[in-house]
Structure 1
Amino acid sequence: MEEKGLQKKYGLATAVAMVIGIVIGSGVFFKAEKILQATGGDLGQGILSWIIGGIIMVVCAYVFATLATRHEKVNGVVDYAEDMVGTKYGYFIGWFFAVIYFPTLTSVLAWVSARYFGVLMGWDIVGGETMTLAAFFLIAVFCMNTLSPKIAGKFQVSTTVIKLIPLFLMAVLGTIAGIHSGVLVENFSQAAVTTTSSQHPLFTAVVATSFAYEGWIIATSINSELKDAKKNLPKALTFGTLFIVLTYVLYYIGLAGTVENAVMMKNGEQGAKIAFMSVFSNIGGTVLFVFVVISCLGTLNGLMMGCVRGLYALAARNMGPNPATFKQVDTRTDMPVNACVMGLGLAALWLLYFYGANLVKVPWFGWFSFDSSELPIVTIYAMYIPIFVQMMRKETDLGSIRRYVMPFFAICCCLFMVVAAFYAHSKSMAGYLIIFAVIMICGVVFNRAGKH
């Protein structure tokens, strides 16, 4: 092992695939049923929530794309926070990404991947088989990213192509079938039920889309490993996010043309499988559902690419716990192995938390149980706001649209997401904020200890 920087090993195709591949693959399947339940089967309101969530993603991605053309160091969003707000704020965001954001989402995706495989096998989605498989997926993808990052990059590109197959087929054939059978018109004309699972259906649905849309920012974690990053990263963010919004809306409409909303809501995790089988027959539907599992694994791989680099982004700045240890890069794999192992450990802990807080009948953590698939995402939107404010103040050589107009809209989008989260998760918000505060205080302590 030796202390050196990471090499430029990824091209534009990997960056675009990372944006599209991380975002598309799980949430569009995993959260579709929650959006239907939150809106009471109101298809129009569900589509509106996808559009609002997409606008928020595209606007924020555009602003970060602007920053990407001007700042390139070790880890995109941490670089931007450091340059715009200050070194301490950059450290706080880096610590949040390394300890909460990356590992929580990575752990959820390990379970989601196992969940859909379990649906194929007829397993209980919270049973021992599914949870064991989730742990296996977590370790297997970690090994691929740590021991052979180039293979992980190629896996990301290939799974991105594979995961688009079921989405586009459902978008096109599901819409055609729905128009022909009248199911699509029926689903648009009336809600499936008269009551919803939420007092604030639109806010709850938009927050649910945040998980489906999240992940694009993780592409900035390979900033220092991307060839011609100042040119390629903005292209990847802009093209990737616009493509994702269009794909999601078309898929959601196609899905509505397969079966009645009431059937989708009643069958939970089986809903997507029923939809595919109703259009493509039992055999064809099963094959395409296998593609859904592969697409989830592609998303897991992309998240792991960010998770294993979390502490390295801090250590490369001589910040965080024991920087000398976590910034070591293995000469054979060109990866920070110590940081990778810690990233896996944190993801494993958050997987255990997700199971105990969200999957068991009686939550283990009581008042401190929260949805770790959504609240960390909303938190990062709140943490973007100071970056956008300082961008408006500091980037004096930008035109008025890129300096003022787009950052202002991005701030409005972030505030909307925060307000929506308070309405959607009002019961668990206090417990989450306490856990968040404790972890961030630990970050301060570890940083001071690391300096000494």
Structure 2
Amino acid sequence: MIKIRCQDNYMKDNKNYGLFTTISMIIGIVIGSGIIFKTGNVLKATNGNVFLGVLVFVFASLAIIFGSLTLSQLALRSNEHGGIISYTKESYGKSASGVLGWFISLVYFPTITAVLSWVSSVYLLMFLGISASLEFQILVAIGLLISLSLLNIISAKASGFFQNFATIVKIIPLLLIALIGFFSKSNEVLTVQNNFTSGLNANVLMFLTAIGPISFIFDGWTVSTTISGEIKNPKKTLPIALAISPILILLIYILYFVGVTKVMDVNEIIGLGNDYIYVAFSRLLGDFGSKVLLFILVISMLGTTNGLVLGFSRTLNHLSHEDLIFLSKKIKSPLNKLPIKAIIYSGFMTMFWLFIHYITMKFKLLNHSDVSEISIATLYLLLIFLYVKVMSLAKAGEIKGFFKGYAFPILAIIGSLIMFSGSLQNKYFLIYFGFSLLILLISYFYLKNKAKTEK
């Protein structure tokens, strides 16, 4: 009965997402707990130099701001609904889109969704005051993943509503700390010290070291393109959302980053590590503050995970319609219906990576790292091909204007290279990059052989 009701409602109006929800999805996926827990890492990398930290945020944002502005040009011209996979197909052919599709569906989406499901379970158990083993955390993560999958199966609009709610919930505390920090004075109860221009002798190495922690907190913005088929007036709405969202994200990040360094001393933030945020909330809201923070983190992470579940299932369904992945016939759902089969299959693939994540955590195979970091650097490199396509369209006269056709793509390429350079700081970079290349090569030869047999 649920399936029939879901499909009927979906067929009546599968344009479920307006501009606000699309913006909420981009902001909601990008802004997670990363900005909170990476602030100390950035300050440590810049030797407490807040000004340099802000510069790092600005330069790192080049990848998302100008990447979004550049992709918006392809979104305006696309007649398909597969997001960056469709843009790749229209730019370089079906085989190229298949290679990208394999990488995104086998590595990018499931690894990030798996880790975020686990992190959500950790915060939820902390909020409930339950001390749990890693095994129990993984079981709760599976439960949360199933719950979010069911939410997306039962109602796409309900999923969109939750995405909006989660985005609002996670932004409020960031802006609260930013406002209190900016308007507080040195003689107030809060410990305030203006470190904005301290440590100006920080060098380029510090800058590059700080890029590493920031690269992850800007990730996820391309996911919104996967729901283009369900966005109201996508050729108008999606480009606007892609243009507005990155600027809002950068503004929120900088306001929080500078604000929290006025709420607390920089050295105190570095010394406390991830616990600094609990101290900050306790000072602002008393003992109740830590509970409030945990609740916000739970909603924040679930919102991010929900967006990934949504994007992952749409990507799988699109790939199955193009017959670019194995089991396409079993995964495929009509484009005017809710992709229930794709949601189920994406859930199983995410659970597989949850198991891999469990193994790496249990036996400490990736100290100070996790499987979610495998694909980020490679994806930024792959996006460069789409940026180059925009420049070729400008050269052919299809895109008018120097900024749209050349300046934005060039800055997007620079941003991607900056993000890639940050990933080089990870000691497991060669393993991650090598694994990503292996998946790309396997998909290339699989699709090449498949094309030969179909002739």
* Alignment partner, residue 397 of structure 1: 398
Partner of 1:248: 253
Q: Which residue of 1 aligns with 2:373?
A: 374
CA contact (8 A) 1:14 1:157 kept: yes
Instruction: Give the aligned partner of residue 363 of structure 1.
Output: 364
The 1:129–1:260 alpha-carbon spacing in structure 2 relative to 1, beyond 3 Å, is farther
Is 2:82 aligned against 1:79?
no
Aligned to 1:428: 428
User: SS state of the match for residue 41, structure 1?
Assistant: coil
Q: Distance in 2 between matches of 1:36 and 1:353?
A: 32
Match of 1:319 in 2: 324
Which of these residues, 258, 263, 266, is aligned with residue 263 of structure 2? 258
The answer to whether the 8 Å contact 1:22/1:303 transfers is yes
Contact 1:310–1:343 (CA under 8 A) maintained in structure 2:
no
Secondary structure at the counterpart of residue 345 of structure 2: helix
Hey, what's the Cα distance between the residues in 2 that align with 1:382 and 1:20? 22
Q: Deviations over 1:268-323 (max 9, x none)?
A: 43322221111222224532442232122111111111122232121121221132
Partner Cα distance (2:90, 2:225) in 1: 15
**Is contact 1:10–1:225 with CA below 8 Å preserved after alignment?**
yes
Correspondence 1:270 to 2:271: no
The counterpart of 1:411, out of the listed 410, 413, 422, is 413
Whole-angstrom distance in 2 between the partners of 1:222 and 1:410:
22
Residue matched to 1:348 = 351
Question: 2:264 is matched by which residue type in structure 1?
Answer: V
The residue type paired with residue 339 of structure 1 is A
* 1:374 shift after superposition: 3.4
Matched residues in 2 for 1:261 and 1:356: separation?
A: 36
Matched, 1:162 2:161: no
The runs of 5 or more residues in structure 2 that have no matched partner are none
**2:349 corresponds to which letter in structure 1?**
L
Change (3 A) 1:446 1:153: farther
**Alignment check: 8 A CA contact 2:194 2:261 kept:** no
Q: Distance in 2 between matches of 1:149 and 1:221?
A: 14
Q: Distance in 1 between matches of 2:261 and 2:437?
A: 41
Kept in 2: contact 1:370–1:429 (CA 8 A) = no
**1:127-146 correspondence runs (5 A):** 127-146=134-153
Cα distance in 1 between the residues matched to 2:197 and 2:392: 48
- For 1:80-119, what aligned pairs fall within 5 Å after superposition? 80-119=87-126
Letter in 1 for 2:333: Q
Q: 1:428 to 1:115 in 2, by over 3 A?
A: same
Aligned CA RMSD, in angstroms, stands at: 3.1
Residue matched to 1:69: 76
Please give the per-residue CA displacement for 1:353-403, whole angstroms capped at 9, x wherever unaligned: 33443x45x53479xx96433342221110011121122113422123211
Partner of 2:297: 292
Post-superposition shift, 1:207? 2.8
| TM-score, L = length of structure 2 | 0.87
Aligned residues: percent identity?
29
Amino acid at match of 2:193: V
Q: Distance in 1 between matches of 2:14 and 2:44?
A: 46
How does the TM-score come out when normalised to structure 1?
Answer: 0.87
CA distance in 2, matches of 1:129, 1:179: 45
Residue 323 of structure 2 aligns to a residue whose secondary structure is coil
Counterpart-to-counterpart distance in 2, 1:262 and 1:129: 36
Deviation at 1:330, TM superposition (A): 9.5
Shift of 1:32: 2.3
Mapped partners of 1:73, 1:405: distance in 2: 26
Q: Counterpart in 1 of 2:14?
A: 7
Q: How far apart, in 1, do the equivalents of 2:420 and 2:80 lie?
A: 29
Q: Structure 1 CA distance, aligned partners of 2:81 and 2:335?
A: 17
**In terms of mean alpha carbon deviation, does 295-304 or 175-184 score higher?**
175-184
Aligned pair count reads 440
Shift in alpha-carbon separation, 1:35–1:72, aligned structure 2, 3 A: farther
Partners in 2 of 1:82 and 1:96 — Cα distance?
15
C-alpha distance 372-133 of structure 1, shift in aligned 2 (>3 A): same
Contact 1:329/1:337, CA 8 A, preserved across alignment: no
- My pick for the range that moved more, 118-127 or 233-242, is 118-127
The 3 A distance-change label for structure 1 pair 228 and 144 is same
Q: What is the Cα deviation at residue 19 of structure 1?
A: 1.2
Question: What is the CA–CA distance in structure 1 between the aligned matches of 2:61 and 2:104, rounded to whole Å?
Answer: 22
- Aligned partners of 2:51 and 2:198 also within 8 Å: no
CA contact (8 A) 1:309 1:339 kept: yes
| Distance across 2 between alignment mates of 1:264 and 1:356 | 32
2:419 alignment partner AA: M
Q: Which letter maps to 2:319?
A: L
Q: Tell me the SS of whatever aligns to 2:193.
A: helix
Deviation at 1:29, TM superposition (A): 1.9
- Distance in 1, Cα, partners of 2:359 & 2:26: 30
Cα 1:45–1:390 shift into 2, 3 Å: same
Gaps of 5+ in 1: none
SS in 2 for 1:373: helix
Deviations, residues 198-242 of structure 1 (Å, cap 9, x unaligned): x94322322322221112210001011111100000111111111
1:145: Cα distance to partner?
1.5
CA distance in 2, matches of 1:365, 1:246: 33
How many Å apart are 1:434 and its aligned residue? 2.8
CA drift of 1:129 comes to 4.4
Structure 1 segment 187-336 matched on structure 2, within 5 A: 187-188=195-196, 200-329=205-334, 334-336=337-339
Provide the C-alpha distance between the structure 2 equivalents of 1:418 and 1:176, rounded to a whole number of angstroms.
37
Q: Is the 8 A contact 1:210 1:374 kept in 2?
A: no
| Shift in Å, 1:412 | 1.8
Seen in structure 2, the aligned counterparts of structure 1 residues 85 and 242 have a Cα distance that, compared at 3 Å, is same
- Measured in 2, the distance between the counterparts of 1:178 and 1:343 equals 50
